Amino acid sequence: MSILDTLKEIKSEGFDAKKDKVSTNSKLDKGDYPVRLKSAQAGVSKKNIAQVALTLEVVSGKDKNRLEIIYLSFNDDLPEFVLAKNGRIILKIAAMVGVDFKNKDLEDEYAAAEALAKGIGQQFLMKLTIGANKNNPDFPYRNYEFEPLDDQPVDNSEVDEDDLPF
């Protein structure tokens, strides 16, 4: 894409160089997204807490190729409701990608990530909702539901003539 094409696209999105900030929020807005499991990794957070990082990639639509990263921790210091929610998320994603956990897969975050990595490439539907966080308004709650994708192919037949190469 040329500089001119890039600038035209930014302008068409409504960017006003005199008023708008350069940095924008790169997180997905609420909505339903067909996604695929792009990666499942374990690591340690800035607060030295083990966590599983699941990277989901949008596979079609206007947000195609955008990522949603879900961090899940099972640290004993977390509130019970957070542990339960994280457990439901990891079990649901495992079901969506066809991974059946064995006891050894759940010994720690590293084993769980390794097991989930067997489902990389599998697609499913992510329903994202966003809720207010009264304790930290700059970081709203991101809530997820997951479902299998319909077997019907996505119809991308509506193409704007401006999108055609010639």
In a domain, 3, yes or no: no
Which residue in 97, 108, 102, 114 sits closest to 37, CA to CA?
Answer: 97
8 A C-beta contact, residue 72 and residue 86: yes
Residue 87 lies in a domain: yes
pLDDT over threshold 50, residue 153: no
Q: Which residues contact 99 (CB under 8 A, 6 or more apart)?
A: 115, 116, 118, 119
Q: In this structure, is residue 145 part of a structural domain?
A: yes
Task: Give tens-digit pLDDT for 34-84.
Answer: 999 999 999 998 888 999 999 999 999 999 999 999 999 999 999 999 999
pLDDT tens for residues 110-119? Answer: 999 999 999 9
Residue 17 is assigned to a structural domain of this protein: no
> How many structural domains compose the chain?
1
Is the residue at 11 inside a domain? no
Q: 94 is in which domain, residue-wise?
A: 36-150
Angle between helices 80-96 and 109-116 (to 10 degrees): 20
Strands (E), the chain: 31-44, 50-58, 67-72, 123-131, 141-147
pLDDT at residue 10, rounded to an integer:
76
Helix (H) or strand (E) holding 59: none
132's tokens: 């207010």
pTM confidence score: 0.76
Residue 144 exposed, middle or buried by CB count within 10 Å (0-12, 13-18, 19+): middle
The pLDDT of residue 38: 97
Burial label for 2, CB within 10 Å (0-12, 13-18, 19+), is: exposed
3-state secondary structure 71-91: EECCCCCCCHHHHHHHHHHHH
Q: How far apart are CA 157 and CA 140, in angstroms?
A: 35
For residue 122, being part of any structural domain is answered with yes
d(CA 106, CA 101): 7
Does a structural domain hold residue 117?
yes
Specify if 78 maps to a domain. yes
What is the identity of the amino acid at 18?
K
Predicted confidence (pLDDT) per residue in 126-136, tens digit: 999 999 999 98
